[in-house]
């Protein structure tokens, strides 16, 4: 051990880098290690075909916390927007699209009643989102024996609820435990509108519109509004550019960043985390270890169940983290034509989820370890706003595709799909079939394609199960129960080890709050950390 | 061990035919679903068999778990509080185990049967906890409670009885030692262990040979005045010897429903079983905190004035309640009136004078006595024969 660090961070995902930068700013000597060759974790840009590159995991920036952006001077370090205030368009095969941005919803299929109902609904839920945002901006309170800071957070939550007023409060209490399907049926007529909002609620999770917790998921996906975002935005150079900006900011604050360095284990010394061993065998010591890797990877693989007590091992083994979102990247030789969309509209967020039952059926498959025959999709054509991602004249289509299991029976490469195709080929074809319905002729434009299944995402980005949130975002796995009871407030339950990634409070999405809250908690604990 | 469904739902141990024949009082109790005698003939006579000759107790209902595999030792070391690496092959160790909150789940014995081969005997069912604890360890865990029948053979003439049965060389077995002998084509495992504080052994055998073992044992023991004893006599003996009983002197942590009702090893006077030098074991973190912040309770053995057992008594200090009695008995051999108590800290230091508020009844008349009592340092019964190798001839 040559250099001894105050803090070693496992993972240079956006949360890891945010955490590192804040810690370094507070004077800590910080080393960040990542298995990958580029910073940012799932905030990444990769070349997937010669000359074609794409935001290979997360594609929309819509939750990044402005405080993080400001404190770490990300724009000074290179973060730039290719497009902002992007609307969501729910596609219709016949061209009767629906467009949604903020409180407004437009489209031939939307009645004036629905528009009014949506405005009201949006306004009311915006207040709930604001309340959640306030709770998410600090560490979660503890389940029991809360101290003053925790009481204040609880108070904020309680007071926040109170300030909502009696009607809102009872409404929130009522809906937060219900499901989107029922909530949508209660408010709207337009199948497209109901489906678009439902789709947002299940993004990244293994849930259908009728699954409990989806209302919470919906509010969560709207958090960005409370942080000042409207719609979604696209980062210039792809999400990887955010990773680079964060890395530059962290370095400027004195953080040492070592990429291409896989951590094999987090090492415990007499019951306390005190360093890591790299896959190369190199050992590094630190007073505190912080993991940006997901909780299951952190505890099961890096710490090892043998190094923790039974109750904790058991809780880790019960964390639900089966991802069900896949990613499809298409390299196109020209701009695709979507029925009824003009060029400006093509640059928006395009969603294929015509009605709620469509999503529910797509979800049914994954319950049984199968992929959807007709998947729902969240599509971007980033090259419209940022042509650097494709050769001249070419375009990239990138889609979050739901739902797909980690592994279908026999695995993705098993040639057991109809027609002797592999599951991977078959699923790709099914996705293209859907796209073809909305963008006739697109199949002929495809030069190359890449399908990233949840297991590919797990392999590529080290996130267990390929899960968007590093662990399902459900009411039993949020706040003081995130990632599991006994490990909360960014402390892991093991001395000297902290969590700072999406698996910690508040959850996933490119937001930076888990990282900045964790840093604040470690700084607050001072020498006792 | 099958339930005999036409008569009763109760399970029967492999010795049942012999136990039932000897159980003159038909005073049956239940032990983990098995029908077992509280007493056979007379509790006092049974107790005196343990202390003066040989007593036999059917402990087949005890939960027995076999742990094998390359990680067997590491697994047990993470699960229990003491250092298992110090229990050599052929030895038995007494231990407790805790949950993550450092609260005692159970106590029991670990038999180190061979390389990577252990048996854990436990009061409470623990198969779920044992499997959860196996996450990350290369071990196999088998519940062999029904595959092993067991008898405790306890008392001053127990060694002579077993030697007469043909267990040659048994006199050389040290306390907490293990030996095995051929028995009718099977292996009879003998450990020098027991729950009476006396010279004594425990015999472990396949259920098929249980009745034959009983018959041989009683034939060999006849000249040594052998007698079966039930749980009432055992209770008397173990209180005299200072042994805690799970479910009586503490609530197994995972079955405690109410907050604060479970106890840590420190609160049960079992700190000698906790090895804080082990980097990880269940409860370590919480116990470290307890050591720094202090315990809530202290276990105390009390010598109570008079001869009225202080059953269920409140313990008072200056008229104020500071604890309760969990086990109590007038101990015939030691001739002392012993009580185990849970006292609120800081009470319970050796030598402290307290008062037991005892209620007793004679011919429907309830009487209350305030009996002075003193915290004592050690059990009242601890004879040299318990440890002697070879044990003397009695
Ligand atoms: C398909 C998909 C689409 C998504 N789309 C969006 C979107 O459009 N918008 C949005 O906001 N969010 C999106 N998300 C969610 C978002 O990407 C994540 O929640 C977020 O990026 C998590 O950031 P993080 O820093 O907490 O963790 P990560 O980005 O996962 O970072 C963890 C880091 O730890 C490293 N690591 C793990 N193990 C080791 C090890 N042993 N040694 C060294 N390093 C290790 C990894 O390499 C990785 O860099 C999407 C997620 C998925 C799966």
Pocket of ligand 1 contains residue A509 by CB under 6 Å: yes
In a domain, B10, yes or no: no
Which ipTM was obtained for this model? 0.90
A59 CA to middle of ligand 1, Å? Answer: 12
> Does the pLDDT of residue A21 top 50, yes or no?
yes
Shortest CA gap B273–chain A (Å): 18
Q: Pick the atom of ligand 1 nearest to A18's CA.
A: 25
Chain B interface includes A495 (CB < 8 A):
yes
Give the CA angle between residues B20, B329, B222 to the nearest 5°. 40
What is the per-residue pLDDT for A95? 94
> Distance, in angstroms, between B130 CA and closest chain A CA?
9
Where in chain A are the domains? Answer: 3-48+60-82+237-320+464-524, 106-230, 325-405+408-452
* Domains A3-48+60-82+237-320+464-524 and A325-405+408-452 fall in the same CATH topology: no
Cis preceding-peptide flag for B390 (omega within 30 of 0): yes
Could you tell me if B49 and B163 lie in one domain? yes
CA torsion angle A141 A147 A148 A153 (round to 10): 10
Q: Best interface-test mutation with A: which of B141, B280, B283 has the largest number of A CBs within 10 A?
A: B280
Q: Does the beta carbon of A382 lie inside 6 Å of ligand 1?
A: no
Tens-place pLDDT, residues B370-392? 999 999 999 999 999 999 999 98
Q: How far is A317 from chain B (nearest CA, A)?
A: 8
Q: What is the 3-state composition of chain B as percent helix, strand, coil, each rounded to the nearest 5?
A: 25, 35, 40
Residue A463 beta carbon below 6 angstroms from any ligand 1 atom: yes
- Structure confidence at residue B143 (pLDDT): 97
Let me know if residue B256 belongs to a domain: no
Count of beta carbons in the 10 Å neighbourhood of residue B255? 14
Task: Tell which one of A10, A58, A500 to mutate to probe ligand 1, the residue whose CB is within 8 A of the most ligand atoms.
Answer: A58
Residue A525: per-residue pLDDT: 93
- A528 and chain B: CB distance < 8 Å anywhere? no
Q: If you count them, how many residues does chain B have? A: 394
pLDDT tier at B69 (50, 70, 90 boundaries)?
A: very high
Cα distance between residue B289 and residue B269, in whole Å:
17
**Whether the CB of A321 sits within 6 Å of ligand 1:** no
Domain boundary among B189, B208, B229: B229
Cα–ligand 1 centroid distance for A203 (angstroms): 15
Residues of B in contact with A299 (CB under 8 A): none
Q: How many beta carbons lie within 10 A of that of residue B36, not counting itself?
A: 24
Which residues of A fall within a CB distance of 8 Å from B71?
306
Q: Which residue has the tokens 């029976």?
A: A409
Are residues A309 and B132, on separate chains, in Cβ contact within 8 Å? Answer: no
* CA distance to partner chain A, nearest, from residue B90 (Å): 26
Shortest distance between the Cα of B387 and any Cα of chain A, in A, equals 36
The reported pLDDT for the residue numbered A156 is 67
Give the Å distances, CA to CA, from B116 to A447, B90, B129: 59, 12, 20
B103 and B282 Cβ atoms separated by less than 8 Å: no
Atom of ligand 1 minimally distant from the CA of A463? 30
Which atom of ligand 1 has the smallest separation from the CA of A291?
Answer: 34
Q: C-alpha angle with apex B37: B230 to B241, nearest 5 degrees?
A: 25
Name every chain A residue with its beta carbon within 8 A of the beta carbon of B281: 309
pLDDT at B4 over 90: no
Please tell me whether residues B51 and B194 are part of one structural domain: yes
Please count the helices (runs of H) and the strands (runs of E) in chain B.
8, 19
Contact between A288 and A7 under an 8 Å Cβ cutoff? The reply is: yes
Q: Which residues of A touch B100 (CB under 8 A)?
A: 309-312, 486
CA angle B305, B265, B326 (to 5 degrees): 35
A43 ligand 1 Cβ < 6 A: yes
- CA of A462 from ligand 1 middle (Å) equals 8
| Closest chain A residue to the Cα of B282, Cα to Cα | A309
Q: Which of A295, A284, A280 is nearest to A256 (CA)?
A: A284
Is B273 within the bounds of a domain?
A: no
Nearest CA in chain B to A273: B279
Residues with Cβ within 8 Å of B166's Cβ and at least 6 positions away in sequence, in order, are B181, B220
Verify whether ligand 1 is closer than 6 Å to residue A494 (CB atom). no
Residues A69 and A21: beta-carbon distance below 8 Å: no
Contact state of A308 with B137 under an 8 Å Cβ cutoff? no
pLDDT at A2 over 60: no
How many residues in chain A? 529
pLDDT at A139: 81
The verdict on residue B234 lying in a domain is no
Residue of chain A with shortest Cα separation from B284? A309
- Which pLDDT value is given to residue A145? 54
Is B69 buried (19+), middle (13-18) or exposed (0-12) by CB count in 10 A? middle
- CA end-to-end span of chain B, whole Å? 36
| CATH number for the segment(s) A325-405+408-452 | 3.30.519
B16 vs A2, residue with greater confidence: B16
**Atom of ligand 1 minimally distant from the CA of A510:** 11
Spatial contact of A230 and A349, defined as CB atoms under 8 Å apart: no
Tokens coding A269: 């010394």
Residue of A nearest to B133 (CA): A310
Does the CB of A302 have a partner CB in chain B at under 8 Å? no
pLDDT (0 to 100) of residue A1: 43
- Are B300 and B225 part of one and the same domain? no
pLDDT at A112: 97
pTM score, whole prediction: 0.92
| Joined tokens for residue B268 | 């049960």
Helix axes A191-202, A214-221, angle to 10 degrees: 90
Average of per-residue pLDDT across B315-325 = 98
* pLDDT computed for residue A172 by the predictor: 87
Give the model confidence (pLDDT) of A366-383 as tens digits: 999 999 999 999 999 999
- Residue range A3-48+60-82+237-320+464-524 forms a domain whose CATH class is alpha beta
CB of A292 shorter than 6 A to ligand 1: yes
A237-266 residue pLDDT tens: 999 999 999 999 999 999 999 999 999 999
Distance, CA A13 to ligand 1 centroid (Å)?
Answer: 6
Do B25 and B162 sit in the same domain of this protein? Answer: yes
- Rounded-to-integer distance, Cα A62 and Cα A59, Å: 10
Q: Whose CA is nearest to atom 13 of ligand 1?
A: A58
Supply the residue whose CA is at minimum distance from atom 6 of ligand 1.
Answer: A58
Tell me the average pLDDT across A307-317: 95
pLDDT at B261 over 80: yes
Check residue A215 and give its pLDDT: 96
For residue A296 and ligand 1, the question of a CB distance below 6 A is answered with no
pLDDT in tens, A124-156: 999 999 988 988 888 877 765 556 666 666 666
Q: Which residue intervals of A112-147 are DSSP H helices?
A: 112-136
* Number of independent structural domains in chain B: 2
d(CA A40, ligand 1 centre) in Å: 8
Residue B214 located in a structural domain = yes
Share of chain A above pLDDT 70, in %: 97
Helix H or strand E segment including B326:
strand B320-331
Q: How many Å apart are CA A181 and CA B176, to the nearest integer?
A: 65
Instruction: State in Å: Cα A470 to ligand 1 middle.
Output: 8
pLDDT of residue B88: 98
Helices (H) and strands (E) in chain A, counts: 18, 19
Q: Under 8 Å CB-to-CB from A348, ≥6 apart: which residues?
A: A86, A87, A88, A89, A99
Query: What's residue A143's pLDDT?
Result: 63
DSSP for B211-258, written as a single string: HHHHHHHHHHHGGGTEEE--HHHHHHHHHHHT---BTTTB--GGG--S
DSSP string, B175-192: TTBEEEEEETTEEEEEES
Closest-CA residue to A40 (of A266, A240, A337)? A240
Residue nearest to atom 41 of ligand 1 (CA): A263
**What is the pLDDT, as a whole number, of residue A357?**
98
What is the rounded distance in angstroms from the CA atom of residue B368 to the CA atom of residue B326?
A: 18
Of B205 and A418, which is predicted with more confidence? B205
What average pLDDT does chain A have?
Answer: 94
Does ligand 1 have an atom closer than 6 angstroms to the CB of A135?
A: no
pLDDT for residue A152: 67
| Model pLDDT, residue B1 | 46
Residue A451 Cβ < 6 Å to ligand 1: no
Closest-CA distance, B278 to chain A, in angstroms, reads: 8
With respect to residue B80, please indicate whether it lies within any of the assigned structural domains. Answer: no
Query: Which residue, judged by its Cα, is nearest atom 49 of ligand 1?
Result: A41
Given a contact cutoff of 8 angstroms between Cβ atoms, the answer to whether B310 and B302 are in contact is yes
Determine if ligand 1 sits within 6 Å of the CB of residue A11. yes
Asked if the structure places residue B326 within a domain, the reply is yes
Q: For residue A305, which residues of chain B lie inside 8 Å, CB to CB?
A: 135-137
**Are residues B132 and A313, on separate chains, in Cβ contact within 8 Å?**
yes
State the CATH number of the domain containing residue B207.
3.30.1360.120
Q: Which two tokens stand for residue A427?
A: 């699923």
Q: A with B: how many residue pairs have Cβ under 8 Å apart? A: 54
Contact B161, B121 (CB under 8 A): no
Identify the closest residue of chain B to A306 by CA–CA distance.
B136
Helix (H) or strand (E) holding B285: helix B284-293
Domain that holds residue B155: 16-60+148-229
Residue A87 DSSP one-character state? P
A2 touches chain B (CB under 8 A): no
Ligand 1 center from residue B57 Cα (angstroms): 62
pLDDT at position B303 over 60: yes
**How far, in Å, from the CA of A298 to the mean position of ligand 1?**
14
| Rounded alpha-carbon distances, angstroms, from residue A80 to A76, A124, A246, A253, A372 | 9, 32, 12, 20, 36
| Residue B195 confidence (pLDDT) above 80 | yes
Query: Does B303 lie in the same domain as B383?
Result: yes
Exposure of A427 in the CB half-sphere (CA atoms within 13 A): 34
A304: chain B residues, CB-CB within 8 Å? 136
How many Å is the Cα radius of gyration of chain A?
Answer: 22
Residue B7 lies in a domain: no
Nearest CA to ligand 1 atom 3: A58
Ligand 1 atom closest to the CA of A64, numbered from 1: 11
Q: How confident is the model at residue A171 (pLDDT cuts 50, 70, 90)?
A: confident
Chain centroid offset of residue B45 CA: 21
> Of A238, A399, A410, A408, which Cα lies nearest the Cα of A329?
A399
φ/ψ (deg, to 5) at B21: -65, -35
Given a contact cutoff of 8 angstroms between Cβ atoms, the answer to whether A466 and A458 are in contact is yes
Residues 6+ apart with CB under 8 A from B258: none
Measured from the Cα of A301, ligand 1's closest atom is 41
CATH number reported for the structural domain that contains residue B372 in this entry: 2.40.30.110
């Amino acid at each position: 051990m040559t250099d001894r660090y105050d803090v070693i961070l496992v993972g240079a995902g956006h949360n890891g880098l945010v955490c590192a930068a804040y810690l370094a700013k507070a004077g800590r000597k910080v080393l960040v290690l990542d298995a990958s060759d580029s910073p940012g974790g799932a905030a990444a840009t990769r070349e997937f075909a010669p000359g074609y590159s794409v935001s290979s995991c997360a594609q929309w920036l819509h939750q990044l916390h402005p405080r993080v952006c400001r404190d770490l001077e990300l724009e000074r370090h290179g973060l730039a927007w290719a497009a902002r205030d992007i609307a969501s368009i729910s596609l219709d095969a016949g061209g009767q699209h629906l467009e949604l941005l903020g409180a407004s919803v437009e489209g031939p299929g939307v009645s004036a009643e629905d528009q009014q109902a949506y405005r009201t609904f949006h306004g009311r839920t915006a207040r709930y989102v604001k309340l959640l945002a306030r709770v998410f901006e600090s560490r979660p309170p503890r389940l029991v024996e809360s101290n003053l800071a925790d009481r204040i957070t609880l108070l904020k939550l309680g007071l926040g609820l109170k300030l909502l007023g009696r009607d809102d409060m009872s409404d929130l209490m009522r809906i937060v435990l219900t499901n989107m399907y029922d909530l949508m049926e209660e408010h709207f007529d337009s199948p497209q509108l109901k489906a678009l909002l439902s789709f947002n609620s299940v993004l990244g999770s293994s849930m259908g519109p009728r699954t409990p917790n989806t209302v919470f998921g919906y509010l969560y996906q709207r958090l960005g509004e409370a942080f000042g975002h409207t719609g979604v935005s696209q980062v210039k150079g792809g999400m990887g550019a955010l990773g680079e900006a964060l890395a530059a900011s962290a370095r400027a604050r004195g953080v040492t960043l070592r990429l291409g360095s896989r951590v094999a284990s987090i090492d415990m010394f007499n019951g306390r985390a005190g360093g890591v061993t790299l896959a190369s065998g190199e050992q590094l010591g630190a007073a505190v270890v912080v993991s940006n890797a997901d909780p299951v990877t952190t505890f099961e693989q890096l710490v090892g169940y043998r190094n923790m007590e039974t109750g904790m091992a058991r809780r880790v083994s019960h964390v639900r983290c089966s991802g069900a979102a896949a990613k499809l990247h298409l390299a196109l030789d020209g701009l695709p034509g979507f029925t009824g969309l003009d060029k400006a509209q093509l640059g928006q967020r395009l969603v294929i989820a015509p009605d709620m039952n469509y999503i529910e059926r797509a979800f049914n498959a994954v319950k049984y370890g199968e992929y959807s025959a007709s998947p729902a999709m969240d599509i971007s054509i980033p090259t419209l706003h940022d042509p650097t991602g494709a050769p001249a004249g070419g375009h990239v289509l990138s889609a979050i595709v739901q739902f797909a299991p980690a592994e279908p029976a026999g695995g993705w490469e098993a040639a057991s799909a109809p027609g002797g195709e592999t599951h991977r080929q078959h699923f790709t074809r099914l996705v293209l079939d859907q796209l073809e319905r909305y963008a006739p002729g697109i199949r002929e434009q495809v030069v190359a394609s890449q399908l990233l299944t949840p297991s590919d995402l797990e392999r590529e980005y080290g996130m267990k199960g390929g899960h968007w949130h590093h662990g399902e975002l459900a009411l039993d796995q949020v706040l003081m129960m995130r990632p599991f009871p006994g490990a909360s407030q960014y402390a892991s339950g093991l001395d000297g080890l902290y969590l700072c990634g999406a698996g910690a409070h508040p959850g996933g999405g490119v937001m930076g709050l888990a990282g900045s809250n964790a840093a604040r908690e470690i700084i607050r604990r001072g020498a006792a950390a | 061990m099958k339930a005999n469904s036409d008569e009763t739902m109760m399970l029967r141990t492999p010795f049942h035919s012999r136990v039932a024949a000897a159980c003159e009082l038909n005073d049956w109790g239940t032990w983990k679903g098995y029908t077992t005698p509280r007493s056979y003939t007379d509790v006092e006579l049974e107790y005196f068999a343990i202390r003066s000759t040989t007593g036999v107790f059917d402990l087949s209902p005890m939960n027995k778990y076999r742990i094998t595999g390359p990680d067997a030792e590491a697994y047990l070391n993470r699960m229990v509080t003491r250092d298992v690496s110090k229990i050599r092959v052929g030895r038995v160790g007494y231990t407790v185990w805790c949950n993550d909150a450092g609260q005692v789940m159970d106590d029991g014995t670990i038999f180190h049967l061979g390389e990577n081969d252990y048996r854990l005997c436990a009061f409470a069912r623990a198969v779920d906890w044992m499997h959860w604890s196996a996450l990350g360890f290369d071990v196999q865990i088998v519940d062999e409670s029904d595959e092993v029948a067991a008898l405790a053979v306890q008392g001053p003439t127990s060694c002579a009885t077993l030697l007469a049965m043909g267990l040659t060389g048994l006199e050389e077995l040290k306390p907490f030692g293990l030996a095995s002998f051929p028995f009718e084509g099977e292996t009879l495992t003998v450990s020098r262990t027991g729950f009476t504080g006396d010279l004594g052994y425990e015999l472990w055998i396949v259920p098929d040979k249980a009745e034959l073992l009983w018959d041989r044992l009683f034939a060999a023991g006849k000249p040594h005045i052998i007698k079966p004893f039930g749980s009432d006599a055992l209770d008397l003996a173990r209180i005299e010897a200072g042994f805690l009983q799970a479910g009586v002197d503490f609530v197994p942590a995972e079955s405690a429903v109410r907050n604060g009702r479970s106890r840590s090893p420190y609160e049960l006077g079992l700190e000698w079983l906790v090895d804080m030098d082990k980097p990880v074991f269940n409860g370590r973190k919480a116990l470290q905190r307890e050591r720094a912040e202090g315990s809530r309770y202290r276990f105390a053995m009390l010598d109570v004035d008079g001869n009225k057992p202080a059953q269920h008594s409140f313990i008072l200090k200056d008229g104020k309640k500071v604890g309760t009695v969990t086990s109590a008995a007038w101990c015939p051999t030691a001739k002392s009136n012993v009580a185990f108590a849970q006292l609120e800290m800081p009470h319970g230091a050796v030598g402290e004078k307290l008062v037991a508020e005892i209620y007793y009844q004679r011919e429907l008349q309830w009487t209350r006595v305030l009996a002075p009592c003193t915290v004592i340092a050690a059990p009242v019964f601890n004879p040299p024969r318990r440890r002697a190798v070879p044990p003397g001839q009695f």
